[in-house]
Structure 1
Amino acid sequence: MARVSQEHLDARRRQILAGAARCFARNGFHGTSMQDVLKEVGLSAGAVYRYFAGKDDLIAAIADEAFGGIRHAFEDAAEITPPPTPDVLLGRVLRTFLAGQLYGMERRTCAALIVQVWAEALRSDRLSTAFSDGYAGMRVGWAKLVEAYRAAGIMHADVSADDVARTMIATAQGFMVQEALFGGVEPEVLENGLRGLMSMGPQKIS
């Protein structure tokens, strides 16, 4: 029997995840069965269960990939000298992410799937733990960026790096929710809004 290459295995795994993501985006997690996933990807139960034990495994894998992609983008930005400012960085990350990088889905569908994953974490201990780990990683990545901003002389040192990190993560999450609910929210809106807020000086108290 010919040996199956790792490249083939990786491609098959991604095929299954992409099909599951399309099903979840259309019908939600609880409205999608494993039979729906099998039909979507056109594979036998044995072929799918070789990679994933069930629906929870699929959801966890999708969540991990989504978090990983965003986290790596932030970590890469921290290595640039000088690092891109928050408006540029968040615009770049969201533009890339929502342009169909997650399983080739269109932007609003991609955002809707991410919001569903977040909601599912409220009922799943496994997802909640994975999200907590991912969130902690993103906070560390943003905190490193804050230190890089300070080293470059473009951010004051009087605000906690973690406070800045959590605020920027919340900004990205809010953008995702707006796109999922309403659609048509361009990354330029986020960039321009952040740029406007960043231009504000300290308030003078009389």
Structure 2
Amino acid sequence: MSPKVSQAYKEERKAIILEGALHCFIEKGFQATTIDDIVRHLGISKGAIYSYFASKEEMYIQMADDKMNAMLENSTELFKTMPSAADQVRYMYGRFRNQSLNELRRWMAFHLEFMLYAARQPHLTERWNEYADKALVFIQDIMDGGKQTGEFRSDLDSAAAARLFWSIRDGLALQYMLSGEEADYRRTIDDMESMVFRYMLS
């Protein structure tokens, strides 16, 4: 009889595998990376990986979901001491400013590659939308809160505002993905923040 494995051990092993997959995705790109690449990098058997993840696609989705959940959990906890919706939005822009261009570029390169890959596969598109919807609902809730407190205009379409928020953010990331200086990037985030507030308050 094989020994019983604790949940903590399983989570630790999954985290190690995801870290290895992340390294390979950054080095080679999502599509070029194979399970064999991850096996070689980690020095473990293919069976050990498949006991936790059925595919590299599942690894990516888990990785992205973990990153999103951590952001939502940390932000939601902080927002308990930050009742102003406007301050919550400013906090999010602060997070963007604090992310270096190097970090942004590392993530965005294979993040975009996965999006294009998933767009051609309905089962991945569905999983991706579950992930993306969390981000939209998170910002929409902030917008709804700002409308209730009178901070944002009463006719604000919270759902549209949430899409606008992330669309501007993603567009900025694309503009700076291949070139651009850190100082210019931060100034552009400042301009983006001012523009979004004008939209919410006008």
TM-score, normalised on structure 1? 0.78
Aligned to 1:93: 95
Aligned residue pair count: 197
CA distance in 2, matches of 1:70, 1:176: 18
Deviation, structure 1 residue 70: 4.3
Distance 1:184 1:69, change over 3 A: farther
Distance 1:127 1:14, change over 3 A: same
CA distance in 1, matches of 2:8, 2:138: 30
| 1:103-182 aligned within 5 A | 106-182=103-179
Deviation, structure 1 residue 128: 0.7
CA distance in 1, matches of 2:19, 2:155: 44
Structure 1 residues without counterparts, runs of 5 or longer: none
Structure 2 residues without counterparts, runs of 5 or longer: none
SS in 2 for 1:181: coil
Distance 1:43 1:60, change over 3 A: same
SS in 1 for 2:90: helix
Aligned to 2:36: 35
CA distance in 2, matches of 1:139, 1:123: 22
Whether the 8 Å CA contact 1:83–1:145 is kept in 2: the answer is yes
Counterpart residue identity of residue 169, structure 2: A
Deviation, structure 1 residue 58: 1.6
| 1:60-79 aligned within 5 A | 60-72=61-73, 75-76=76-77, 79=80
Higher helix share: 2
Deviation, structure 1 residue 177: 2.2
Whether the 8 Å CA contact 1:23–1:36 is kept in 2: the answer is yes
Aligned CA-pair RMSD = 3.0
Distance 1:14 1:25, change over 3 A: same
Counterpart residue identity of residue 53, structure 1: A
